Amino acid sequence: MTAAATVSGIGRPRLGKALPGAVWALLLLTPAFVSLASVSFYPIINGLYLSFTNTSLITQENEFSGFSNYVQLWGDAQFWNAWWHTMWFTTASTILETVIGLGMALILCEAFKGRGLVRAAMLVPWAMPTVVTSKMFGWLFDGQNGIINYILLHAGLIDQNVNWYGSPDTAMTTIIIADVWKTTPFMALLLLTGLQTVPNSLIEAARMDGAKGWITFWYIRLPLLMPTLLIAGLFRALDAFRVFDLVYVLTGGGPADSTETLSTLSYKVLFSTLQFGYGSAVSTAMFVTEGIIALAFCLYLIRQIRRAQ
Amino acid sequence: MNDTRSPLQTIVIYLGALLILVWSGGPFLWQFSTSFQLDKALTSGSPSLIPAPLTLEHYYNAFVEKQLHRYVWNSLVVSLATTFLCLFVGSLAAFALSRLNVKGRFGILMVILSVSMFPQIALVGPLYLVATNLGLLDTYTALIITYLALGLPLVTWVLFGYFETLPREIDEAARMDGVSIPGLLWHIILPMSLPSLVTTGLLAFITAWNEFLFALAFTSNIDRQTIPVGIANFTNLYYVPWGDIAAASAVVTVPLIVLVLFFQRHIVEGLTQGGIKE
């Protein structure tokens, strides 16, 4: 790689016996490169190759089969079903998390008693293993004895127990709620650090001129926060797009495939049917979709930043 | 700024704060309370946050019947090994990028960061084949090697950011005194970076402790399975043992929460540096 291409200043002649800096740089970067190359880059390329073969661990075949996997994928209703679910999940959870996160950040921006405690509590959902979150929501939203049903029933918001993740109508919503619960507080903490870089003098000046709270928010804080908001949104969207643990543990993609996402579908094709060729085509299609999302976001971000200047 | 606030605004702020607190802490508090309640009480139709009578039955089930401690041990081995490897490899790379005037270092950093955006499901198939061929299925090694690569981007990025804040005059002085390049890292930079090492170490630990997909694919028995796989498989034949699950959740989550609360300030600082600031 280019890592060791040029190094200057460090390899002084006085230390003639020691290795020159360029060699050191290469040496120190090698372990990281080897690790990432073998565990991230190699599998991506190998997966791309596998997607053009009929590799199966059952029939023990692994011959080149051209685009046949992709042709099959194009006509595969299950794939498109999972694709739409994933897009819906990504869009809904990213928007909710960004908007609610912004609301939380605006509150945390103010000084109040017990702010440290609230901020600390917000790390709890983030630190918890996703599998635990998934099981926890399984219990909270349980169709029979779940506390959520109990509360809603007693508040008069529903007249009978809702079978949250056991019914195709509400299962995806339950998963979105669980994801929003887990990731919003952290999103808020990220946005808070962004908000705190907005100079107070600007807001004070606007207040002096008689601007109301929401005007200072809309015309000063929000535009200045935009880059942070978009980048945080991008990271969140890419992460939401890969959702696996939450779905796999809570519903396993069911009921009636109503929560099947691209990750759970790939996993099933790979490890239940052991069709590594076709499974790789699914995951490659997913990688491509994710790349397009990232690209679209980046282009939008660049335009926003240009316009702000 | 307090004096400019109307009573209404104050109420909104405190109400909002209370909502955030309930949002963040409520569900786990309920889970924690569940772990101490009898199955009878849980299905009685009138839930109560205070367990009465209090029972340790679910903890007994989790450890004795489901052998939770074996999963905990596997997770500890894998996560600790991952943490140390991540810190070692990550600090070498971050040091080289920060101090050795590597050309195109921001390009390299961007590539390293973008790796963490790859969908893991696209990696798991090919890696499974490699692990099979090398006889690494059902080993700690396969998990540790994988988790190293998963944690490395963030660790490198955050450490790089921290190293950049250390004044370069120190290196100059050390170099004048004839300190070698590895000596500079080991004797000078690393001791000054302890707070950052603790934070990044914790992040790497959490990544490995919570990881599910690769553990699910690479391990098939309790000798090597980690906690997330163990808890995902916590089911009884005829009903879902919510109490046992709650007990296991508490056991694996409470230590993590304590650690995170202890280091909270550093975590948010570290992650913002890694994820958001340009």
State both tokens at B231.
């808890």
Q: Which of A193-197, A236-240, B183-187, B213-217 has the largest mean confidence? A: B213-217
Q: Measure B90 CA to nearest chain A CA, in Å.
A: 7
b/e burial code for range B125-156 (CB count within 10 A of at least 16 → b): bbbbbbbeeeebeebbebbbbbbbbbbbbbbb
> Is the CB of residue A149 less than 8 Å away from at least one CB of chain B?
no
Residues in chain B: 278
Same domain, yes or no: B35 and B125: no
**pLDDT (tens digit per residue) in A74-128:** 999 999 999 999 999 999 999 999 999 999 998 988 888 888 888 888 888 988 9
Same domain, yes or no: B18 and B100: no
Note the Cα B175 to chain centre separation in Å.
Answer: 37
Contact residues on chain A for B255, CB-CB shorter than 8 A:
none
Which residues does B224 contact at the CB level (< 8 Å), separation at least 6? B74, B138, B139, B140, B143
Task: Name the more confident of A235 and B89.
Answer: B89
Interface of A with B in 71-100 (CB under 8 A): none
What are the φ/ψ torsions at residue A53 (nearest 5 degrees)?
-125, 170
Same domain, yes or no: B32 and B76: no
Provide the sign of the torsion angle of the four alpha carbons B119, B121, B122, B127, taken in this order.
Answer: positive
> Is the CB of residue A152 less than 8 Å away from at least one CB of chain B?
no
B257: nearest Cα among B28, B6, B13, B17: B28
Whether residue B146 lies inside any domain: the answer is yes
Which residues does A296 contact at the CB level (< 8 Å), separation at least 6? none
pLDDT at residue number B3: 53
Is the Cβ–Cβ distance between B148 and A42 less than 8 Å?
Answer: no
Q: How many interface pairs between A and B have CB atoms less than 8 angstroms apart?
A: 310
> Is the CB of residue A13 less than 8 Å away from at least one CB of chain B?
no
Q: Measure A163 CA to nearest chain B CA, in Å.
A: 15
Whether residue B22 lies inside any domain: the answer is yes
Mean pLDDT, contiguous 10-residue spans, chain B (278 residues): 71 92 92 90 82 87 89 95 96 92 87 86 94 93 95 90 87 86 89 88 91 94 92 80 91 88 77 51
Mutation pick from A49, A136, A184, A231 vs chain B, by most beta carbons of B within 10 Å, is A136
Distance CA B84, CA B260 (A): 18
> Is the CB of residue A10 less than 8 Å away from at least one CB of chain B?
yes
How far CA B139 is from CA of A272, B128, B143, B217, in Å, comes to: 21, 12, 7, 12
Burial label for A227, CB within 10 Å (0-12, 13-18, 19+), is: middle
Same domain, yes or no: B79 and B200: yes
Q: Measure B61 CA to nearest chain A CA, in Å.
A: 17
Same domain, yes or no: B14 and B107: no
Distance CA B272, CA A190 (A): 6
Contact between A144 and B43 using a beta-carbon 8 Å cutoff: yes
Contact residues on chain B for A302, CB-CB shorter than 8 A:
none
Long-range Cβ contact pairs of B128-134 (< 8 A, separation 24 or more):
B128/A270, B128/A271, B128/B217, B128/B218, B129/A46, B129/A276, B130/A43, B131/B218
Same domain, yes or no: B82 and B117: yes
Q: Measure B72 CA to nearest chain A CA, in Å.
A: 13
pLDDT at residue number A10: 46
Closest in B101, B148, B152 to A9, CB measured: B101
Distance CA A19, CA A193 (A): 42
State both tokens at B117.
């955006």
Contact residues on chain B for A22, CB-CB shorter than 8 A:
100
B146: nearest Cα among B216, B64, B60, B67: B216
Provide the sign of the torsion angle of the four alpha carbons B189, B194, B197, B201, taken in this order.
Answer: positive
Burial label for B56, CB within 10 Å (0-12, 13-18, 19+), is: exposed
Beta-carbon count within 10 A of B262 CB: 13
Contact residues on chain B for A117, CB-CB shorter than 8 A:
21
Contact residues on chain A for B149, CB-CB shorter than 8 A:
35-36, 38-40
Task: Name the more confident of B172 and A308.
Answer: B172
ipTM: 0.88
Q: What percent of chain A lies above the pLDDT cut of 90? A: 45
pLDDT at residue number A7: 43
Same domain, yes or no: B27 and B78: no
**Peptide bond between residue B53 and the one before it cis (omega within 30 degrees of 0):** yes
Mutation pick from B111, B181, B245, B262 vs chain A, by most beta carbons of A within 10 Å, is B181
**pLDDT (tens digit per residue) in A3-40:** 444 444 444 444 444 567 788 888 999 999 999 999 99
Same domain, yes or no: B224 and B177: yes
Same domain, yes or no: B72 and B53: no
Is the Cβ–Cβ distance between B150 and B90 less than 8 Å?
Answer: no
CA closest to A183 among chain B residues: B24
State both tokens at B34.
């569940």
Question: For chain A, give me the number of helices (H) and strands (E)?
Answer: 15, 0
CA closest to B249 among chain A residues: A132
Same domain, yes or no: B108 and B19: no
Q: Going from the N-terminus, what domains does chain A have, and what CATH number goes with each?
A: 20-50 (no CATH), 76-308 (1.10.3720.10)
pLDDT at residue number A3: 42
Total structural domains within chain B: 2
Local structure of B54: helix, strand or coil = strand
The parent domain of residue B109 ranges over: 68-233
Contact between B23 and A181 using a beta-carbon 8 Å cutoff: yes
Distance CA A89, CA B102 (A): 41
Q: Measure B25 CA to nearest chain A CA, in Å.
A: 6
Q: Which residue type sits at A16?
A: G
Task: Compute the mean pLDDT over every residue in chain A, rounded to the nearest whole number.
Answer: 86
Contact residues on chain B for A150, CB-CB shorter than 8 A:
45, 47
Contact residues on chain B for A280, CB-CB shorter than 8 A:
122, 125-126
Question: Which of residues B208, B233, B258 is at a domain's end?
Answer: B233
b/e burial code for range A162-173 (CB count within 10 A of at least 16 → b): bbbbbeeebbbe
> Is the CB of residue A212 less than 8 Å away from at least one CB of chain B?
no
Contact residues on chain A for B210, CB-CB shorter than 8 A:
128-131
Contact between A189 and B9 using a beta-carbon 8 Å cutoff: no
> Is the CB of residue A124 less than 8 Å away from at least one CB of chain B?
yes
Closest in A32, A121, A245 to B25, CB measured: A121
Is the Cβ–Cβ distance between A186 and A126 less than 8 Å?
Answer: yes
Distance CA B70, CA A5 (A): 48
Per-residue pLDDT for A267 more than 90?
A: yes
Same domain, yes or no: B140 and B211: yes
Contact between A107 and B126 using a beta-carbon 8 Å cutoff: no
State both tokens at A120.
């600390």
Mean pLDDT, residues A204-218 taken together: 80
Mutation pick from A109, A135, A154 vs chain B, by most beta carbons of B within 10 Å, is A135
Mutation pick from B11, B33, B118, B206 vs chain A, by most beta carbons of A within 10 Å, is B118
Same domain, yes or no: B74 and B156: yes
CATH number of the domain within which B94 lies? 1.10.3720.10
Local structure of B77: helix, strand or coil = helix
CA closest to A31 among chain B residues: B89
Render B105-129 in DSSP notation, one character per residue. Answer: HHHHHHHHHHHTTS-HHHHHHHHHH
Closest in B101, B122, B212 to A130, CB measured: B212
Burial label for A208, CB within 10 Å (0-12, 13-18, 19+), is: exposed
Mean pLDDT, residues A185-207 taken together: 83
